[in-house]
Copies of this chain bind each other. A is one copy, B any other.
Amino acid sequence: MTRVTADVSFLRDYNQALVMAVGRTARTFERSTVVEATGLTPQAVSKVIARLTANGLIRPAGVRRPGIGKPAVVYELVPDSRYAIGAHVARRTLRLVLVDLAGAVHHSAVSPLPGDFTPEHLLDALSVGIDSMAGIGDLRSRLTGLGIGMIGPLDHANGLVRDAHGLRHWHDVPLREIAEKHLNLPVHLDKDVTAGITAEAWRHGATFGDAALIMVESGIGGGFWLSGAAHRGAHTNAGEFGHTVVDLTGPLCVCGRHGCLEIVHHRAAEAGDIAHAARVLAVGVVNLLQTLDLAHVLLAGADLLRHPQTYLAAVTEAVGADARRADWLSTRVALSSLGADVIAAGAAMQVLDQHYGIPELAPI
């Protein structure tokens, strides 16, 4: 949720989101935990906790006896109090996942999409899939919305698919609007990699620092989490990481430039030299670190996950071996914890994040 001016309702939402962030990060928590983490006064935390409890988002979960004194009430998030559905729209498949308030993936389903599918095809597939998932235990009333992660270019702010690369029928499609009408649910549209990094950030909790999610699938993309929020760029087009030049004299890429990371990597992988391909990717990752100084790098994508250890080793080594990196310049490299679900799950979490995440104040 973004807005320009700050009023008291912003205070409420913001501080409430802080408490929710603590609850999502820690399995259980008590009032003093929140006080320590946020700097709010105990009294303020009590008010927020009372509100969240009344809304069913958190609940008491026993007491902790601190030795001497009155026992502290322990609270926990109620994971099944809210759900969101996430969709990963790829060129040939639709993946749907059901995610709860804690960020856990409950169901995952993949269905094929016809070649050159139209918006109508997609809406029908979404409708069927959502009805099937929401039917489980009558979740409909606890469903906060649908998140869609899709290949770009698209316009996140207006929910518009500008020109999905490689899909004939997807030029200037107001997907959010027509999907909301067709499905009768709030819909959030975003680029696939941006959805993916949101999943990692949401699951890692409030203390997650600047990070990138590197996706190696049909192409190579990067999703970025900077200063506590997804970075989308000026036109929702950030993340075309595969089209950065790493070899000035390299082969011609589809994008018209020579020696893009994507084409160089692809050639190596095609030749069967996965280790070399992984090292090429690692060069690109270190480029990102030099530019953006990230605390986390997460690896995902179908092509990468076919050789997870090879890629993980190559990137970890390249990051560690970088001669200029001092001990304080630490970056954690890991495989995405969500595997093939990361995009769809992230799309779902973007919906949850809009409701229960830290609100942002939009620039003028």
Contacts and interface: CB of A to CB of B under 8 A. Distances in A.
Interface string A238-264: 111101111111100001110100001
Nearest to A331: B234
Contact of A295 (B162, B234, B323): B234
Contacts of A37: 364
Contacts of A7: 11
Contacts of A288: 291
Interface in A273-328: 280, 283, 286-288, 290-295, 321-324, 326, 328
Contacts of A161: none
Interface residues of A, number: 79
Interface in A1-31: 3-8, 10-11, 14-15, 18, 21-22
Interface string A207-240: 1011000000000001010111101111111111
A363 interface: yes
Contacts of A364: 18, 21-22, 37-38, 206-207
Contacts of A257: 283, 286, 322-323
Q: How many copies does the complex hold?
A: 2
A247 B249 contact: yes
A274 B210 CA distance: 36
Interface centre among A6, A239, A358 (most CB of B within 10 A): A6
A293 B236 contact: yes
A272 interface: no
Contacts of A326: 153, 162-163
A21 to B, nearest CB: 6
A25 B15 CA distance: 31
A15 B11 CA distance: 13
A22 B331 CA distance: 39
Interface of A: 3-8, 10-11, 14-15, 18, 21-22, 37-40, 44, 153, 162-163, 206-207, 209-210, 222, 224, 226-229, 231-241, 243-250, 255-257, 259, 264, 280, 283, 286-288, 290-295, 321-324, 326, 328-331, 358, 361, 363-364
